[in-house]
Amino acid sequence: MKKNKLARTIGFVPFQLFLIFFICFNTLAGHATEEITNKTVMGKQMTIHLKNKKVKDVFEYIEKNSEFIFFYSKDAIDLNRLVNISYTNRPINEILDNLFKGTHIKYDINDRQISLKRDNSGINNPIPQQDNGFKVQGVIKDSKGEPIIGANIMVKGTKMGTTSDINGQFAFYVPSGKSILVVTYIGFKNAEVAINNNRNVEVVIHEDSESLEEVVVVGYGRQKKESVVSSINTVTTKELKVPTRNLTNSLAGQIAGLIAVQRTGEPGYDNSEFWIRGVSSFKGGTNPLVLVDGVPRNMADIEPDEIDTFTLLKDAAATAVYGAEGANGVIIITSKRGMAQKPRISFRAELSNIEPTRLPKFLGSADFLNLYNEALGNEGREPVYSEDLIQKYASGEDPDLYPDTNWLDLLRKNTSSHRYTLNIRGGSEKTRYFVSGAYYTEDGIFKSNPGEDYSTNIGVERYNLRSNIDLNISKTTILNVDMSGQYLLTNYPGTGTETIFKSMLTTPPFLMPMKYSDGTLAGHPRPSSNRANPYNRLMESGYAKEWRTSIQSKVGLDQKLDFILKGLSARANISFDANMFFNSKRTKTPSQFQATGRDENGKLIFKEVVQGSDNLTESKGNNGDKRIYFESAINYNNTFGDHKVGAMALYMQKEQQYHDNALAFRKQGVVGRITYSYTDRYFLEGSFGYTGSETFAKGYRFGFFPAGGVAWLVTNEPFFPQGVKNIMPKLKLRASLGRTGNDNTGGNRFMYRGTLNQSAGGYDIGITSGASTNGVGSGIVEAQFEAPYLSWEIETKQNYGIDLGFFDNRIDIMVDYFSNRRYNILLQRQTVSNVTGFQQMPWQNFGEVTNKGFDGSIVLNQQIGDLKLSARGNVTFARNKIIEYDEVTQKYPWMEVTGKRLNRWNLYIAEGLYEYDDFIIEGEGLKRTYTLKEGIVKSGLSNDIKPGDIKYKDINGDGIIDSFDQLQDVGNPSTPELVYGFGVNAEYKGIYAGIFFQGAGNTSTVLGANTSEGFFPFQWGFDETSIRREALNRWTDDNPSQNVMFPRLRTNSHPHNTAPSTWWMRDASFLRLKNIEVGYNFQKRTLRKMGIEAMRIYLLGNNLAVWDKIKMWDPEIGNNNAGFNYPLPRTFTLGLDFTF
């Protein structure tokens, strides 16, 4: 084992070296670019031909036709001097040397700034000149003491000025006397400082909260927040608090409009399911479109520390631009980018302890056997296990022959994870970079076999790399180069994880020990694919490995076109992604034995029950795909007095090619958007997406999806009372309407083409039977009927919203109501008459579903002295309804699907349990017989009905319980209609704490709904089903109560009692304590003495507690698995991060 770990460590060394090289190269490249720029800028060549022009005209020409800007005092330079200058492709310094030849003007070039000043040195008896001033130097900082890079510093009333360097420092000459410096920087309020001959100054500038919040991400672009007419919500990763590699598992309850559930905690396969504003289709895909930096990608691949913002687009005004992919909503993730600042290196380390949130509890061997005897008696049979035998199992006197095996306790452990991230962020006005590397490892909750040189536990290791570089090629051109990659290595037992976990929870405790005391492998007495020793499945079946590699790249170019038309710009992006998957599985089935007794020497006597081998056999597999995405756009934004207009036209195409599929999946589209606002009060927006997909037939491949929205910022109206505005500075009304599409209709690809089955049964021809033995051969029939008119699902969306802000926007509220109608849902027709001669019913875009609801959020921020307080909450409610299902008329109205909800429950209505008074009882003891009295409803599900069995309501009144008595849409759907989250945070002098709750409501589960999971006692017989602790709360002859969980026990599955009914229905709503975090931010004054900018230490608990009505397993796991899925994790994380 140690040797194997060493090999893995050595194997990882090249990757570590690559990671270090990758980060250092990109960081040094940024600095090298800046240094080269400074060295070569003086040699920058340009062409200039001016005759009899003033010096100031030369300055204006150079500034207009190059990236250079002049800084000077008007009093020091003769701007009206006439010059002749003519150069072709000459360095700027050569041009300036000639321009100032014979004058006393000196110039200094720093990046793109040309500073001019008068030099009187070397002049004998100079004529008195005006004062050239003195040198001022200083530093620009923010309110936290951080240096500001690239701040503009100007002498008020002049063109004299400079910018701050990488340390926030500046130096330049200013006129003598009472000069005033004006400092400006994007996102900060302007600051003015009087010099008064003071040669050293320190200027502190403060954030402009309105400016910082004014820009939000929208489809294919950004907009000022106040001008947004659509329904959009944004959160940052700081709010998500993600102590894991998988972002999808931290979304539930965090953002209004998003419904998310995590069904399993298995490392590597633990992605959450999520929907935006619920589910609107019973056939097509329901997952939202996920874009990472504008490119369709897998959300689970991105390292959470790389994320800058997470934005949800919900209504048609926001999603129509995505055409046939916008119906289910859109998630836009933006990664962090470089900033004009000195390099800031951030490192984070997290160590987490992991345990299951909740696991089922089971009975031991003695209780199991007693209950089996009871079940035999309930069926009129004699018990088979004597009291003496049961006592041997209870005493533990011989665990080899009379085991009491708790499989969960023996094969499970608490585990841990480690996460490390390293980010470097910095740059200048010309070059900005963000480089990130991350490593994450997590082990599963299974124990591993110490006797093998390989691990049989679940394990996952992931490596992430990212490099985002922005280059200002010129004053008007920006080049973006993004590279990222993920490498995921997973390890599993030779038997599937789900099979092992299910086996641990269903194997009876009395059958066999985990392993015999002499080391012999214990086997199941009746081995089969469903019956095996869980220990052997986990420890003795070999192992499997998977390697998943993803590489993503994107190159973008942004070009300002103001020389054509002010406010005009263009951009283009192209990306190439490659995903590769490899697996290797090495398995074995060793020989296994059953102990039948002991010989005279006390040694165990074995019978071989599985004849196998210890040799490993290998199987391999691979898969992969490549994705190419391209978009180009022209944008226009301008202001004409009180009018602001904007427009965008965009072309998009993408292709996805799987290595085992000859035909690539392709889409292309055209997008347009126009925005208008008047006096920042009235806002209008119109947009469309025109999308084509190769999935459909010619003439049906393209769809047009328009949308429009309006908004009114009431508080900007002149008539709005100032007294009210002081309390409520923001009141905004929004409305939108539009149409979106979904090309993932749920059918086979190319359904517009018919297919043939050439291996159908033969035909009768003359006296032959048509069989191939008679020489006629197989028949040919249509396998799939041609459906040439199939096309998109279409959804019309209406949205009405209100935004409110109170008390300087310290309280911010957003509420939206939505009403969506999805139609053209693909379905196979049911109402077409059989007399038409169709071998199969045709497919059509025929179904229809409505989905209505609301979502809202509230954020509160308050500071009282050194105490900072914040709170936030959100809620989403979405309810759907089937309008068209092409349903054949049902015998009874309660059987109809039309008018019901999706993911509904179709159940019998339990009225209680049958009682003795319901029967005519004859005989005594085990020979008693039970006959239902006249007028008591009978069961069509089983002929064996006795007291203690479930009594169902006879809905149709025919006296018999059958399928006509099942009701559609009982209780609530399996997918929650209501989700919410709320939390509070507090910080005082570096000490901070936060708590967050997540909840779901209007959702139901039916225990044992998936009968293959073995929820019911003895469902698969006595040797294939374990018994849950809750079975002690059951109906018995001695306890004929109606207030029990389980009805009369049987020795096998009873179709009447196990039928899905309200007896087994439970409210699956829950409230979860999602996380608590406490930490300390160290004082910067102390840290800077050690060369550290910031440092914090914290403790974070995740999935700490849950309140629900199921109790047996975590309610979020799902409805149909009886708690047999890999459990959700509860984590306790100790973290440290610092920046220097």
Kindly state the tokens that stand for 719.
């008539």
Q: What's the burial of 327, exposed, middle or buried (CB within 10 Å: 0-12/13-18/19+)?
A: buried
Instruction: Count CB neighbours of 902 within 10 A.
Output: 21
Q: What's the burial of 1113, exposed, middle or buried (CB within 10 Å: 0-12/13-18/19+)?
A: buried
Instruction: Count CB neighbours of 947 within 10 A.
Output: 20
Q: What's the burial of 1087, exposed, middle or buried (CB within 10 Å: 0-12/13-18/19+)?
A: middle
Phi-psi region of 380 (alpha: psi -120 to 50; beta: other; left: phi over 0): left
| Architecture of the CATH domain 235-340 | Beta Complex (2.170)
Percentage with pLDDT > 70 across the chain? 90
Q: What is the pLDDT of residue 967?
A: 95
- The continuous run of DSSP H or E covering 597 comes out as strand 592-598
Residue 219 near residue 319 (C-beta atoms within 8 A):
yes
Instruction: Count CB neighbours of 946 within 10 A.
Output: 20
Q: Choose the weakest-confidence range: 32-46, 786-800, 820-834, 873-887.
A: 32-46
Instruction: Mention every residue, 6+ apart, whose C-beta is less than 8 A from residue 67.
Output: 112, 474, 475
Q: Where are the extended beta strands (E) located within 679-729?
A: 682-693, 702-713
Domain ranges of the chain: 44-120, 131-212, 235-340, 746-763+770-779
Kindly state the tokens that stand for 1010.
């998936």
Residue 1122 near residue 1008 (C-beta atoms within 8 A):
yes
Strands 938-939 and 960-961, by their bridges, are: parallel
Show the 3-state SS of 751-763. CCCCEEEEEECCC
Distance CA(388)–CA(404), nearest Å, equals 15
Q: What is the pLDDT of residue 27?
A: 44
Residues shown for the chain? 1140
Comparing CA positions, the residue from 650, 656, 685 lying closest to residue 669 is 650
Kindly state the tokens that stand for 568.
């005009």
Chain centroid to Cα 224, Å, comes to 25
Across the strands, what pairs with 667? Answer: 654, 693
**pLDDT (tens digit, 9 = 90+) per residue, 903-920?**
999 999 999 999 999 999
pLDDT band of residue 962 (cuts 50, 70, 90) is very high
Kindly state the tokens that stand for 230.
């659509």
Across the strands, what pairs with 354? Answer: 415, 1131
DSSP secondary structure string for all residues of 1112-1135: SS-GGG-SSSTT-SPPPEEEEEEE
Residue in the block written with tokens 């960081």: 27
pLDDT at 1119 over 70: no
The mean pLDDT of 629-651, rounded to a whole number, is 96
Chain centroid to Cα 409, Å, comes to 33
Q: What is the pLDDT of residue 47?
A: 83
**pLDDT (tens digit, 9 = 90+) per residue, 1063-1111?**
999 999 999 999 999 999 998 777 877 888 889 999 999 999 999 999 8
pLDDT at 740 over 90: yes
**pLDDT (tens digit, 9 = 90+) per residue, 1009-1034?**
766 667 899 988 888 889 999 999 99
Distance CA(258)–CA(274), nearest Å, equals 7
Distance CA(305)–CA(245), nearest Å, equals 9
**pLDDT (tens digit, 9 = 90+) per residue, 258-302?**
998 888 888 888 888 889 999 999 988 899 999 999 999 998 889
**pLDDT (tens digit, 9 = 90+) per residue, 513-536?**
999 999 999 999 999 888 899 999
- The continuous run of DSSP H or E covering 11 comes out as helix 2-40
Q: Between 843 and 757, where is the model more confident?
A: 843
Residue 334 near residue 312 (C-beta atoms within 8 A):
no
Residue type, 335: S
Comparing CA positions, the residue from 1010, 1140, 321, 1023 lying closest to residue 687 is 321
Q: Choose the weakest-confidence range: 204-208, 740-744, 943-947, 986-990.
A: 204-208
Percentage with pLDDT > 90 across the chain? 61
Instruction: Count CB neighbours of 405 within 10 A.
Output: 24
Kindly state the tokens that stand for 1119.
């409805």
Q: Between 166 and 811, where is the model more confident?
A: 811
**pLDDT (tens digit, 9 = 90+) per residue, 207-254?**
765 544 567 888 888 888 888 999 999 887 777 665 567 788 888 888
Q: What are phi and psi of 475, to 5 degrees?
A: -65, -25
- What topology does CATH give the domain 131-212? Immunoglobulin-like (2.60.40)
pLDDT at 111 over 70: no
Q: Choose the weakest-confidence range: 163-172, 397-406, 561-570.
A: 163-172
Across the strands, what pairs with 687? Answer: 673, 707
The mean pLDDT of 91-97, rounded to a whole number, is 85
pLDDT band of residue 840 (cuts 50, 70, 90) is confident
Q: What are phi and psi of 666, to 5 degrees?
A: -130, 145
pLDDT at 835 over 60: yes
Q: Choose the weakest-confidence range: 23-32, 608-617, 1098-1107.
A: 23-32
**pLDDT (tens digit, 9 = 90+) per residue, 319-364?**
999 998 999 999 999 999 998 888 899 999 999 999 999 998 999 9
Average pLDDT, the chain: 87
pLDDT band of residue 10 (cuts 50, 70, 90) is very low
Instruction: Mention every residue, 6+ apart, whose C-beta is less than 8 A from residue 399.
Output: 513, 517
Distance CA(256)–CA(854), nearest Å, equals 9
- The continuous run of DSSP H or E covering 411 comes out as helix 407-411
Q: Between 63 and 1036, where is the model more confident?
A: 1036
Show the 3-state SS of 31-63. HHHHHHHHHHHHHCEEEEEEEEEEHHHHHHHHH
pLDDT at 982 over 60: yes
CATH class given for the domain over 44-120: alpha beta
Comparing CA positions, the residue from 1021, 677, 932, 820 lying closest to residue 326 is 820
- The continuous run of DSSP H or E covering 733 comes out as strand 730-742
**For residue 897, how many C-alpha atoms fall within 13 Å in the half-sphere facing its CB?**
14
Q: Choose the weakest-confidence range: 99-103, 489-493, 1051-1055, 1078-1082.
A: 99-103
pLDDT at 1114 over 70: yes
Distance CA(83)–CA(73), nearest Å, equals 20
Chain centroid to Cα 83, Å, comes to 64
pLDDT band of residue 841 (cuts 50, 70, 90) is confident
Q: What is the pLDDT of residue 4?
A: 43
